[in-house]
Amino acid sequence: MNHTANTMRHGGPLRAMGARVVAAAASAALAVLAGCATPVAPPTSSKAELPFEQAVAQATDSLVLQSAPKPSLLARTSAKRSVVLDPMIDAGSAQQTAATQLLQDRVSQRMAAKVESIEVLPFESANLARARYLLTGTMTRLTVTEARSPMRIDLALTELATGMVVAQSSAVARDEGLDHTPLRYYQDMPVPTKDLVIESYIRTTATPAGQRADPYYLERIAAAPVIKDATAHYNAERYQDALAQYSAAGVAAGGDAQLRVLNGIYLSSAKLGRTADAEQAFGKIVAYGISNQQLGVKFLFNPGGTAFWSDAKVSGPYPMWLREIARASADARVCMEVVGHTSRTGSAAYNDTLSMQRARFIRQRLLGESTALGERTSVSGRGFRENIIGSGTDDAVDALDRRVEFRIVDCARTG
């Protein structure tokens, strides 16, 4: 049972012949661009499901090929073309995982190895200021209703000076042997981080070449290298350094409006034992969620029931979370629908019932903090119908499927 509540194939011979023609042209173009670098493998149809390594190679080579004819990229063929890579993410969960980390490593390695004129620089503030191009990437599961369904890889290369996407490519990879475990920061965060900045990053990565990247993301790019460094510190358990970097990101352009920053300050403060600071930071997370009319929180429950997870290291902060949610929503005088979700383990009927029971439990805990919420809250259970991950593994991979959401609604719906 689930453990928590909450989250064309190949064408015919004609197509194959066309693919060989394109492949020959692709190899020739890359050889010229790379200064006699080793030719790449022939690209295949972007809709074919490929092994992961082949899909990455196809998407990366296509990205480079698209950039080759553009005068703005070839104006100084003898000079290195510097690229910075903003860490790639899972587009469904907005998380960095072992698989997205592998993706960005493979893309940057292939790009640098195949094209001598490209220099992939570390994603640092100084390099962001001098780099010509920004590389972004996402992995998106094609369906969450089937375990191990294929993943679409999207890559985009954006010219920083103009904000134009100069190349965009996609490929479909089979989910064979990929590890989708979130990095430590994403395992620990209380609230999913798909905020406006992350949504804008995802849109940028899917933007066709010749169009402008999403401005919301680019206008806030200055904070991104600092957030990346902070998250690396957190994942390495250097919490003091992480807190300093997250705090610095909070004062950078747009940094204070990013859930990654707010979650990071909360988590780092909690790890350092700074209880009051952690509670204040969590209050800001709640305020952000209310202002955006939705707040998803990862509450873990004991299997098959409505009692919080027995390990105090996990569930210890929950009373504070509920207190802050109750206080902020009562102060804002908003009405909320408390929505329970489960992972895919078990029958649909069982999970519908369980998700409703857990939503009711959370509502009762909120009323214990503020009786004023009685007339302004309602409950519903979605079972696993709104999964984000859909793996049904009941572990760190699909923790977002086991969440409780607080949706701001018209008060007429709660009467």
Q: Mean pLDDT lowest for which of 10-24, 218-232, 297-311, 356-370?
A: 10-24
Handedness of CA 120, 123, 126, 128 (dihedral sign): positive
Query: Is residue 10's pLDDT more than 50?
Result: no
**Mean pLDDT across the chain, nearest whole number?**
85
Least confident of 119-123, 282-286, 300-304: 300-304
Q: Which residues pair with 169 in a beta bridge?
A: 155
Strand partners, 151: 141, 173
Relative to beta strand 164-173, strand 49-50 is parallel
Amino acid at site 195: D
The pLDDT of residue 221 is: 94
Tokens 């990862």, located at residue: 298
Exposure string over 292-325, b if 16+ CB within 10 A, otherwise e: eebbbbbbbbeeeebebbeeeeebebbeebbbbb
Rg of the chain (C-alpha set): 23
Instruction: Look at residue 38 and tell me whether its pLDDT is greater than 70.
Output: no
Condensed to tens digits (0 to 9), the pLDDT of residues 184-216 reads: 999 999 998 889 999 999 999 999 999 999 999
CATH number of 1-7+293-415: 3.30.1330.60
Statement: 48-196 belongs to CATH 2.20.28: no
CB-based contacts of 107: which residues, under 8 Å, 6+ apart? Answer: 56, 59, 60, 85, 88, 135, 137, 155
DSSP symbol at 362: H
Confirm if 64 and 33 have CB atoms less than 8 A apart: yes
Beta-sheet strands, E only, within 21-95: 49-50, 81-85, 89-90
Q: Residue 281 — φ and ψ, nearest 5°?
A: -65, -40
What is the full DSSP assignment across 287-340? HHHHHTTEEEE--BB-TTSSSBPS-HHHHTTHHHHHHHHHHHHHHHT-EEEEEE
Distances (CA, A) of 214 to 64, 158, 165, 202, 211: 21, 10, 9, 9, 9
What is the rounded CA–CA span in Å between residue 29 and residue 11? 25
> Bigger pLDDT: 307 or 89?
89
Torsion of CA 177, 180, 181, 185, to 10 degrees: 150
Write down the pLDDT at residue 304: 77
Amino acid identity for residue 397 in this structure: V
27-36, 83-92, 233-242, 303-312: the lowest-pLDDT one: 27-36
**From CA 387, how far away is CA 404, in angstroms rounded?**
12
Range with the largest mean pLDDT of 180-184, 256-260, 300-304: 180-184
Alpha-carbon distances of 136 from 91, 150, 189, 295, rounded to whole Å: 12, 20, 23, 27
| pLDDT tens figures, 218-229 | 999 999 999 999
- If you average pLDDT over residues 28-54, what whole number do you get? 54
- Comparing 30-44, 60-74, 114-128, 185-199, the range with the smallest average pLDDT is 30-44
pLDDT at 4 over 60: no
pLDDT in tens, 67-117: 774 454 444 445 678 999 999 999 999 999 999 999 999 999 999 888 888
Q: Let me know the angle formed at the C-alpha of 276 by 273 and 280, rounded to the nearest 5 degrees.
A: 120
Compute the average pLDDT of residues 323-341: 95
Q: How far apart are CA 284 and CA 288, in angstroms?
A: 6
Higher-confidence residue: 57 or 148? 57
Lowest mean pLDDT among 109-113, 167-171, 301-305, 396-400: 301-305
Degrees, nearest 5: CA angle 343-344-346: 115
Question: Which stretch of 26-40, 63-77, 105-119, 320-334 has the lowest confidence by average pLDDT?
Answer: 26-40
Higher pLDDT, 9 or 95: 95
Q: Which alpha helices (H) appear in 155-309, and where do they start and end?
A: 184-188, 196-205, 215-218, 224-235, 239-251, 259-271, 275-291
Q: Which of 52-61, 116-125, 203-212 has the lowest mean pLDDT?
A: 116-125
Instruction: Please tell me the least confidently modeled range out of 232-246, 368-382, 388-402.
Output: 388-402
Q: State yes or no: pLDDT of 161 exceeds 50.
A: yes
Q: How confident is residue 390, by pLDDT bands cut at 50, 70 and 90?
A: confident
- CA gap 156, 307 in Å, rounded: 45
Domain boundaries, the chain: 1-7+293-415, 48-196, 221-289
pLDDT of residue 39: 36
Q: What percent of the chain has pLDDT over 70?
A: 84
